[in-house]
C-alpha cells in the first residue's frame, strides 16, 4: 500500500506549525503571520493579542495553503477559530477538493503533545 502524504497543522491567528508525518517521522516548520502589535503613545508594544488586517490574514492563510497542496490528508487543529476560517477558504477552492481536510479543537500544546495528537489522528 502506498504511503499517504499527511500533514497536521497546529495554528492560531499568528503562528502555524506544519508537521509532515512520514513513516512515523515528523518534519516540522513554521509559518508566522505578519500581524502588528498594538502600541501605546510612546511606541511601546502593549499586552494583548496582535492585530491583523485583512491583507495580512489572507497572506498568512495563503502561505499555509501553498504548503498543503501536495498532501492527501490534512488536520487543522488549535485553540482559535483560525483553523475554521482556513478550512472554509480551502473548501471553497477547487484546488483542494481532492484533499481530505478536517479541523479539530485543541489547546496550546508542547511539541511532543502535537506530535502525539497527529500520530493518533492519522493511525
- How far from 94 is each of 22, 63, 104, CA to CA, in Å? 26, 17, 22
3-state secondary structure of 56: helix
82: closest CA among 35, 38, 39, 27? 35
Handedness of CA 93, 15, 8, 79 (dihedral sign): negative
Pick the residue with more confidence: 105 or 44?
Answer: 105
| Helix 54-68 vs helix 82-92: crossing angle, to nearest 10 | 70
The architecture that CATH gives domain 6-122 is 2-Layer Sandwich (3.30)
Domain residue ranges in the chain: 6-122
Say what the pLDDT of residue 1 is. Answer: 41
pLDDT in tens, 30-74: 998 876 555 555 555 455 555 557 888 889 999 999 999 999 999
Amino acid at each position: 500500500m502506498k504511503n499517504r502524504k499527511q500533514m497536521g497543522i497546529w495554528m492560531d491567528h499568528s503562528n502555524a506549525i506544519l508537521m509532515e508525518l512520514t513513516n512515523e517521522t515528523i518534519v516540522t516548520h513554521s509559518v508566522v503571520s505578519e500581524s502588528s502589535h498594538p502600541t501605546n503613545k510612546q511606541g511601546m508594544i502593549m499586552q494583548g493579542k496582535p492585530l491583523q488586517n485583512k491583507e495580512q490574514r489572507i497572506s498568512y492563510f495563503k502561505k499555509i495553503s501553498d504548503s498543503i497542496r501536495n498532501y492527501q490528508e490534512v488536520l487543522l487543529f488549535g485553540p482559535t477559530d483560525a483553523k475554521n476560517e482556513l478550512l472554509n477558504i480551502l473548501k471553497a477552492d477547487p484546488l483542494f477538493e481532492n484533499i481530505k481536510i478536517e479541523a479539530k479543537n485543541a489547546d496550546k500544546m508542547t511539541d511532543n503533545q502535537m506530535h502525539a495528537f497527529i500520530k493518533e489522528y492519522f493511525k
